[in-house]
Amino acid sequence: MQTTQSTDGNTTLAKTALVAAEVLIPGASNLVAGNVGAGVATLVGTFAAVAVLAPTMPILGALAAIGLRVNSYKLATTGASLMSDASTALNAANERFSKAAAPKAGG
């Protein structure tokens, strides 16, 4: 069985390195990918979310930190953020709902 290997940097080892960097430093995967603005924004946003939420709501602070890191990794590897995927899914659901709720003509 013959296997092919990607040469564009999206190998398993490269993705593993991006995950490890993201775990250690929020936004690191974007910094490595060359998205400096997004990387710095993730770093600052994660620290701000933890500083604000952790003292009173530690679970919510941890979830915010994890969510920002996941978004940063997805943006670095695919070029799309989680919010763009969520808005696309919401628009599709609204369209399906509108079609289902519309009265049928001729009935």
4 falls within a domain: no
- What is d(CA 90, CA 84) in angstroms, rounded to the nearest whole number? 10
Nearest to 76 by CA among 6, 26, 5: 26
pLDDT for the residue 106? 58
pLDDT for the residue 84? 80
pLDDT for the residue 83? 81
45 falls within a domain: yes
- What is d(CA 80, CA 37) in angstroms, rounded to the nearest whole number? 15
11 falls within a domain: no
66 falls within a domain: yes
pLDDT, tens digit only, all 107 positions of the chain: 444 444 555 688 888 888 999 999 999 999 988 889 999 999 999 999 999 999 999 999 999 999 999 999 999 888 888 888 778 888 888 888 888 877 766 55
**What's the domain range around 61?**
25-100
Counted domains in the chain: 1
106 falls within a domain: no
34 falls within a domain: yes
- Burial of residue 69 (number of CB atoms within 10 Å: 0-12, 13-18, 19+): buried
